[in-house]
A and B are shown apart, each in its own frame.
Chain A
């Protein structure tokens, strides 16, 4: 009887399980599918180590001894365990796990781009008292090779049609102008984000002139300094422009321009690390959540989910670490849709709140850099033509950056970041050459492609908590104007997390509910 009592413990390895191995029980660094490795004690750091420790003789034994008592197998198992514990064995309980994220973090921010870092910064800055919340930023690619932030053209403007967008931009500009007060780190050099306040010039044809006027009125109400120019005034101010087909232009006179997004990213990263936020180089592969069924006041059944754990998979390895968390912030940019799916957003019959997916998807956009010696001078603003093509000055050597958003039918395949040079020849160059005659002779120096976290619903950001997955907050879907709104959006999300409502800028039109209720916040000035 004693044996029976002890057996459930010993035969499945009390010794084996109790001491931090990777058989799915300890919390430090697990490997997927490692439950099948009986007797494997080594903590696999990468997949090839796992294979190396597989014991081939063990497999042979199970095959050859079918039907014979389990005893011999157990004895040799115990012997193997003892051998691995002894000095020259393979098991090391005190191995270094500093590359793994912590087992517990109050807030996990999925995505380490400018939005994610901005949320982390404001969370740490606005929390009362200081140092309370533990924040973990999970970033899949520390080189930011595919991140929208690094590949962005870097413009910032207030010329939007939605008032909230204007307010976000205004605050962000104030943040960027005072960046060295916001992001100062002791003993580190100040940041130079190379803000060129050259303004934006939006051109409108006859059709769009009325819309542009009303937009400018909204912008002026919010405090942006925009002036409307007629074609005459345009020609006077910018002699290099060909005003054929232009009915009206709006020119931002202050707080608009472009800056270096990489510098902002690194500045935020540096500051956020000094404030105590932990970084993890891994990918979120799973959310462990629990659901509860409740009834709303009108009597309909609703399932609320709560995320308990985030499984972060290490880079180039099968190992993952479950991170226990109270909140998850989805700032994964173009891949937010996939993260939201993992969390269970959109799993339900279509047309219901449960079935409403996060409509953010990857869209590829090309940016071309060309050299044009007779091009417009240093005063050139960021010009956005009525046809949708845009360009801006880059540096002081007559180089220009530009591109155009393709129409819905000609969306390129977002599977990779390969550049289609024919697109420049066919769709970007002609309108630009027509608008700026100097651009008829130019030489394309280089080009790259980046992703928009495109919100297919209304091309504006999604900010705030999800109504059903109660502890997931969104900060994504900005469709090409995320970088310029990042500081303000970070603050808004931090206020939502800490206070439960937006305090400074009211972003309630941007909540997730609008996808279900069908209330579009359509932004007219999207490039």
Chain B
């Protein structure tokens, strides 16, 4: 694991010491190389884990997420080049340092063995994200957004610290690999229910669960492009990953404690999908679509069957790539028209046909078109929740329909129709942008050829 972590740490001095015209080239190339070093971890031989040391390990759940994280850094750097081009050099370097720091914390979070270390790094990821949102965001609302983001996550995760310390006291260790063999069934008592809640709330807020999702539209919309990408693609998955790890220690309470959260998630998934149909701001639409997809992941994790876990992991990776790609596309629109409103930038297909192709593919993967991994994830989750309770199929079916509706609505509003007069002279697509979209789409489409890489430990 150090072969990924130390190069990531060293990216920071490299940024500061690069010549001004080389900072982007250096950082992007080296982070791409680091992502290639994390690819071998995807070949997990069995459902056991690859333990690199006492501190770090990967198994088939964390390896795809780790690869996604490392893959995302070069993409984030490519996407940020335009809006940082006018900033002074020191500030550019500071921004890149924040991204690298965030990357570092995320890598360590996904590979941590010790749950307290996981917790510390989970909290530590908040700091660079907050700095990115509040310092480089576009509008005055970003201060509000940063505040919401910070405090929702902090308040949710403080009980988690208490719960982890209690469990450390109880079990003697929080090393995840050992803890999974040493867990005892938690008897049903009030204090154990509180323990369950304390453990899960942090991740529920992070996912986010429907009732606690208020921070997400704000944070996503106000963040600059790299912030949006990393938030949508990776930080939300931290919640899913944490839930998957910690539910192992919380049996058998989950079987009945999960009910209210499942109800909230299923209802929330339909609600947020419907809100998407009424959104005027493009980034806001994609943010609510993220909430909707993550609600499916919450349902899957709480159902706790092998099929649902496979669906959850597949959906997390698929959604990470799709959502990040949609944000990049929305950002390419924003950089040209300086407005995030969909109706002010319509009919782009005639002006930027190649970008329209990327929009089409991104929308199609967003609505879970076969044979993409989005569909595999969603289908497995739907099947698992059907076996949990037959009635959920109605809700899931409605959600899939509404997802298709808003994805196509977004596509048609931005791409089809007659273009407005004032976008006649937008700059044509840059090679950088096309590369960015292709690098998002390529893993997504290639994984549909070999989905077992991302189907998690229970495949």
Q: Which of A1-35 contact B (CB under 8 A)?
A: 1, 5-6, 8-9, 12, 14, 17-18, 25, 28
Give the CA-CA distance A9 to B20 in the complex, in Å: 12
Partner among B90, B140, B345 whose Cβ is within 8 Å of the Cβ of A14: B90
Closest Cβ of chain A to B200, distance in Å, is 36
Q: How far is the CA of A308 from the CA of B422 in the complex (A)?
A: 12
**CB-contact partner of B139 in A104, A132, A294, A304, under 8 A:** A104
Residue numbers in A under 8 Å from B343 (CB-CB): 127-128, 132-133, 498
Give the shortest distance, in Å, between A460 (CB) and chain B (any CB). 21
Q: Does B214 contact A (CB under 8 A)?
A: no
Residue in A closest to B347 when the chains form the complex, CB atoms: A500
Chain A contacts of B44 at CB under 8 A? none
A 275-311 binary contact with B (CB < 8 Å = 1; else 0): 0000000000000000010100000000011101000
Of B280, B338, B418, the residue contacting A500 (CB under 8 A) is: B418
The answer, yes or no, to whether A129 is at the interface (CB within 8 Å) is yes
Interface residues of B in 270-289 (CB under 8 A from A): 278, 280-281
Q: Are B94 and A14 in contact (CB under 8 A)?
A: yes
Q: Are A325 and B338 in contact (CB under 8 A)?
A: yes
Let me know if B422 and A103 touch, CB within 8 A.
no
At the interface, yes or no: A256 with Cβ under 8 Å from chain B? no
Closest to A94 in B: B143
A264 within 8 A of B: no
From A1, A12, A129, give the contact of B90 (CB < 8 A): A12
In the complex the two chains form, what is the Cα distance from A454 to B6 in whole Å? 70
Q: Are B93 and A9 in contact (CB-based, < 8 A)?
A: yes
Q: Does A471 contact B93, Cβ atoms closer than 8 Å?
A: no
Pair A292/B425 contact, Cβ less than 8 Å? yes
- Would you call A326 an interface residue if the criterion is a C-beta within 8 Å of the partner chain's C-beta atoms? yes
Are the C-beta atoms of A308 and B338 separated by less than 8 Å? yes
- On whether the beta carbons of B419 and A500 are closer than 8 Å, the reply is yes
A102-B139, A106-B339 known; A500 and B420 CB under 8 Å?
Answer: yes
- Chain A residues, CB < 8 A from B452: none
Contact A132 B90 (CB under 8 A): no
The reply to whether A129 and B344 form a contact with Cβ atoms under 8 Å apart is: no
Complex: how many Å from CA A126 to CA B16?
51
Q: Is A327's CB within 8 Å of the partner chain B? A: yes
Contact A294 B425 (CB under 8 A): yes
Tell me the chain A residues, 84-130 only, with Cβ under 8 Å from chain B: 102-104, 106, 127-129
Quick check: A324 and B338 within 8 Å, CB to CB?
Answer: yes
Asked if A239 is at the interface of the complex by the 8 Å CB criterion, the answer is: no
CB A145 to nearest CB in B, in angstroms, measures 31
Residues of A within 8 Å of B138, CB to CB, are 103-104, 324
A306 to chain B: closest CB distance in Å? 6
CB distance from A125 to the nearest CB of B (A): 14
> Is A49 an interface residue when CB atoms closer than 8 A count as contact?
no
- CB-CB under 8 A from B93, the residues of chain A are 9
Chain B 44-61 interface residues, beta-carbon cutoff 8 Å to A = none
Chain A residues positioned under 8 Å from B89 (CB to CB): 8
Query: Closest Cβ of chain A: how far from B13's Cβ, in Å?
Result: 8
B90 touches A17 (CB 8 A): yes
Complex formed: what's the CA distance from A42 to B89 in Å?
24
**Bound Cα distance from A104 to B425, whole angstroms:** 21
Tell me if B338 and A132 are in contact (CB < 8 A). no
Residues of A within 8 A of B17 (CB): 1, 5
A241 within 8 A of B: no
Question: Are B422 and A326 closer than 8 Å at their CB atoms?
Answer: yes
Q: Which one, B16, B280, B421, contacts A470 given CB within 8 A? A: B421
B341 at the interface (CB under 8 A from A): yes
In the complex, what distance in Å separates the CA atom of A459 from the CA atom of B453? 72
Counting chain A CB atoms within 10 Å of each CB, which of B138, B281, B345, B422 scores highest?
B422
A18:B94 contact, CB within 8 angstroms: yes
Flag whether A245 is at the interface (Cβ < 8 A): no
Residues of B within 8 A of A292 (CB): 425, 427
Number of interface residues of A (CB under 8 A): 40
Known: A127-B343, A294-B425. A326 touches B338 (CB 8 A): yes
CB <8 Å contact, A131 and B280: yes
Task: Give the distance in Å from the alpha carbon of A326 to the alpha carbon of B138 in the complex.
Answer: 14
Contact A25 B344 (CB under 8 A): no
Chain A 120-155 per-residue mask, 1 if CB under 8 angstroms from chain B, else 0: 000000011101111000000000000000000000
Main DSSP-derived SS at the A contact region = mixed
Distance of A316 from chain B, by nearest CB (Å) = 23
B135 to chain A, nearest CB (A): 7
Q: Does B88 contact A (CB under 8 A)?
A: yes
Q: Which residues of B contact A326 (CB under 8 A)?
A: 337-339, 341, 344-345, 422
Instruction: Determine the residue in chain B with the shortest Cβ distance to A14.
Output: B90
B91 in contact (CB, < 8 A): yes
Partner of A327, one of B16, B344, B418: B344
Question: What is the CB-to-nearest-CB distance from B86 to chain A, in angstroms, rounded to a whole number?
Answer: 10
Quick one: given A103-B140, A104-B138, A500-B419, are A6 and B16 in contact (CB under 8 Å)?
Answer: yes
Nearest-neighbour CB distance to chain A for B430, whole angstroms, equals 13
**Interface: B424 (CB within 8 A):** yes
Whether A375 sits at the interface, judged by CB under 8 Å, is no
Which B residues lie within 8 Å of A127 (CB)?
343
A477 in contact (CB, < 8 A): no
CB distance from A90 to the nearest CB of B (A): 22
CA distance A326 to B423 in the complex (A): 9
Find chain A residues with CB under 8 A from B344 CB: 106, 133, 326-327
In this assembly, does A496 line the interface, its C-beta being within 8 Å of a C-beta of chain B? yes
CB nearest to B13 among chain A residues: A5
Q: Assess whether A267 is interfacial by the CB under 8 Å rule.
A: no
Query: From residue B218, how far is it (CB to closest CB) to chain A in Å?
Result: 15
A487 an interface residue at 8 Å Cβ cutoff? Answer: no
Task: Determine if A197 is an interface residue (Cβ-Cβ < 8 Å).
Answer: no
Given contacts A102-B140, A104-B138, A324-B338, contact A9 B90 (CB under 8 A): yes
A465 interface residue (CB < 8 Å to B): yes
Bound-complex Cα distance A25 to B338 (A): 19
Residues of the B chain whose Cβ atoms lie less than 8 Å from the Cβ of A103: 138-140
Q: How far is the CB of A506 from chain B (nearest CB, A)?
A: 15
Minimum CB distance partner of A304 in chain B:
B425
| Contact assessment for B422 and A470 in the assembled complex, using a CB-CB cutoff below 8 Å | yes
**What 1/0 mask marks residues of chain B from 420 to 444 whose CB sits below 8 Å from any chain A CB?**
1111111100000000000000000
User: How far does the Cβ of B223 sit from chain A's closest Cβ, in whole Å?
Assistant: 14
B135 touches A18 (CB 8 A): yes
Interface residues of B in 384-433 (CB under 8 A from A): 418-427
- The answer to whether A129 and B427 touch across the interface, beta carbons within 8 angstroms, is no
Closest chain A CB from B28 CB (angstroms): 20
Q: Closest A residue to B336 by CB, please name it.
A: A306
Chain B residues with CB under 8 A of A8 = 89-90
- Interface residue from A14, A28, A132 paired with B341 (Cβ < 8 Å): A132
Which chain A residue lies CB-closest to B424?
Answer: A470
Q: Select A18's contact among B13, B91, B427, beta carbons within 8 Å.
A: B91
B285 CB to closest chain A CB (Å) equals 12
CA of A28 to CA of B134, assembled, Å: 13
Within 8 A of A (CB), among B64-112: 88-91, 93-94
- Closest B residue to A291 by CB, please name it: B425
**Which of chain A's residues have a CB closer than 8 A to the CB of B339?**
106, 325-327
Smallest Cβ distance from B224 to chain A, in angstroms?
13
Closest CB in chain B relative to A43 CB, distance in Å: 15
A382 and B427 CA atoms in complex are apart in Å by 53
Question: Which residues of A sit under 8 angstroms from B337, Cβ to Cβ?
Answer: 326
Contact A133 B341 (CB under 8 A): yes
A87 to B419, CA, bound (A): 54
Determine how close the nearest CB of chain A comes to the CB of B417; give it in whole angstroms: 9
15 A-B pairs with C-beta separation under 8 A: A8-B90, A106-B344, A128-B343, A132-B342, A133-B280, A304-B424, A306-B425, A326-B341, A326-B422, A327-B422, A465-B421, A465-B422, A470-B425, A497-B420, A500-B418
Q: Assuming A129-B280, A133-B280, A324-B338, what are 11 further A-B pairs, CB within 8 angstroms? A: A14-B90, A18-B91, A103-B140, A133-B344, A134-B341, A326-B339, A326-B345, A465-B421, A473-B422, A498-B343, A500-B419
Q: Top 3 nearest A-B pairs by Cβ distance?
A: A132-B280, A326-B339, A304-B425
B-to-A contact residues, CB < 8 Å: 13, 16-17, 88-91, 93-94, 135, 138-140, 278, 280-281, 337-339, 341-345, 418-427
